[in-house]
């Protein structure tokens, strides 16, 4: 089913007699039971005000279309959403609704925040078929309950997005990256922490253990970038050999590869996404015996390539954070669960919220439950 407008979407959900599998562009590997309900027919930019830094688009609008519209006015979605296709082996076209439903955020999150932080308003259809609007189309409209933040990261289990309103930001004039050679994860986290804690406005902090390389991004006006690169070199020179990317394009490609986890593409194994305190990151990864690692967000996000079927959460032991299974076989997903189990009190709250928005349990049923046998 592919509704062409919000009214059709509401009618389909209201009349549904069984589970619905909500699909945007089909790029993030989501697999749930039920009749497929695609939002790709709800496409188009409805409002764009460059001077107000706001854009309103239907949920099925391709991300590439939005980026093209913004680029004409030298603006961008600053949270740089990841493209999962290479990592999970999917096809299709990424949509803005899928980005918001998954709260998909890239390396710049350490500086500007997550996708949900750029949401001004949403329109969505709940499990009863009711159209709900929350937030607004301008930055000063913040009255009422913040369902905007609640919908971001709910993966279509609370409602099906039909429209999103976003805050956008100007593009940087240029960017460059500082590259620091380090010996291990502990040293890398130390370097990234020092850089992020400095006054030099680092907008990306990643570590590739295979290359023994910390990567730090600096963006802005050309003179400012040049100054901050030198100051970071002075600050971090005692940690290891320091160099810079030579061109804007080289830096841009480097961070696109970090964003999309290029290092794991085409490699066999299960892919896990670990959110953890940066200070705990070296200790946790040391227990994993992983086939591959990539640190982002200063060590707060770790992409992990594991042998197929290994119980990552058990091997990682206790840590303050959560582990999500991003790529694996159906059997492994069913056995280990995709999303990290919630503490019992939080699970009760989560189930209660879901029941309020989807009392029949038909929207991406079981997707966020432990052991549901689904992929994200």
6-170+353-357 domain in CATH 3.30.420.40? no
CB 324 within 8 A of CB 312: no
What pLDDT score was predicted for residue 137?
A: 59
Contacts of 8 (CB under 8 A, 6+ apart): none
Predicted TM-score (pTM) of this structure: 0.90
CB 43 within 8 A of CB 58: yes
Nearest to 237 by CA among 184, 298, 198, 180: 180
Q: What CATH number belongs to 262-336? A: 3.30.70
pLDDT by residue for the chain (376 residues), tens only, comes to 888 999 999 999 999 888 988 888 777 766 777 788 889 899 999 999 999 999 999 999 999 999 999 999 999 999 999 999 999 888 889 999 999 999 999 999 999 999 999 999 999 999 999 999 887 655 544 555 578 888 898 988 999 999 999 999 999 999 999 999 998 999 999 999 999 999 999 999 999 999 999 999 999 999 999 999 999 999 999 999 999 998 999 999 999 999 999 999 999 999 999 999 999 999 999 999 899 999 999 999 999 999 999 999 988 888 888 899 999 988 888 888 888 888 889 888 888 988 999 999 888 888 877 654 333 3
CATH number (3.30.70.360, 3.30.450.20, 3.40.50.300, 3.30.70.100) of 174-259 reads 3.30.70.100
What pLDDT score was predicted for residue 136?
A: 65
What pLDDT score was predicted for residue 373?
A: 39
Domain 6-170+353-357 and domain 262-336 have a common topology = no
What pLDDT score was predicted for residue 344?
A: 84
Within 10 angstroms of residue 75's Cβ, the number of other Cβ atoms is: 18
What pLDDT score was predicted for residue 260?
A: 97
- What does the angle CA 353 – CA 1 – CA 337 come to, to the nearest 5 degrees? 45
Match 């290479």 to its residue by tokens: 86
What pLDDT score was predicted for residue 376?
A: 32
Task: Please say whether the dihedral angle defined by the alpha carbons of residues 163, 165, 169 and 170, taken in this order, is positive or negative.
Answer: positive
Question: What are the domain boundaries of the chain?
Answer: 6-170+353-357, 174-259, 262-336
What pLDDT score was predicted for residue 188?
A: 97
């Amino acid at each position: 089913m592919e509704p062409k407008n919000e009214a059709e979407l509401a009618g389909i959900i209201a009349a549904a007699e069984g589970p619905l599998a909500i699909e945007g562009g089909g790029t993030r590997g989501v697999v749930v039971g039920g009749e497929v309900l695609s939002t790709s027919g709800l496409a188009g930019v409805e409002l764009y005000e460059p001077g107000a830094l706001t854009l309103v688009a239907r949920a099925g609008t391709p991300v590439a279309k939005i980026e093209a519209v913004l680029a004409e006015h030298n603006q961008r979605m600053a949270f740089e959403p990841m493209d999962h296709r290479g990592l999970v082996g999917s096809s299709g076209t990424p949509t803005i609704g899928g980005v918001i439903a998954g709260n998909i955020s890239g390396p710049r999150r350490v500086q500007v925040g997550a996708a949900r932080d750029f949401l001004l308003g949403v329109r969505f259809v709940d499990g009863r078929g009711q159209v709900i609007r929350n937030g607004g189309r301008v930055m000063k409209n913040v009255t009422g309950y913040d369902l905007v933040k609640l919908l971001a990261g709910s993966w279509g289990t609370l409602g099906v997005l039909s429209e999103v309103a976003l805050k956008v930001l100007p593009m940087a004039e240029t960017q460059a990256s500082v590259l620091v050679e380090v010996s291990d994860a502990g040293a890398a986290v130390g370097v990234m922490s020092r850089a992020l804690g400095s006054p030099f406005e680092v907008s990306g902090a990643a570590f590739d253990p295979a290359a023994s390389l910390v990567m730090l991004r600096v963006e802005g006006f050309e003179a400012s970038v040049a100054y901050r690169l030198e100051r970071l070199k002075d600050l971090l020179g005692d940690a290891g050999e320091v160099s810079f990317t030579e061109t804007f394009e080289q830096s841009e490609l480097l961070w696109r590869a970090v964003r999309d986890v290029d290092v794991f593409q085409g490699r066999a194994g299960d892919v896990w996404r670990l959110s953890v305190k940066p200070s705990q990151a070296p200790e946790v990864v040391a227990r994993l015996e992983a086939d591959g690692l990539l640190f982002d967000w200063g060590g707060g996000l770790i992409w992990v390539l594991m042998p197929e079927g290994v119980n990552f959460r058990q091997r990682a032991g206790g840590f303050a954070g959560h582990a999500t299974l991003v790529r694996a076989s159906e059997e492994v997903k069913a056995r280990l669960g995709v999303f990290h189990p919630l503490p019992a009190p939080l699970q009760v709250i989560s189930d209660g919220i879901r029941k309020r928005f989807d009392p029949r349990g038909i929207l991406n049923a079981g997707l966020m439950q432990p052991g549901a046998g689904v992929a994200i």
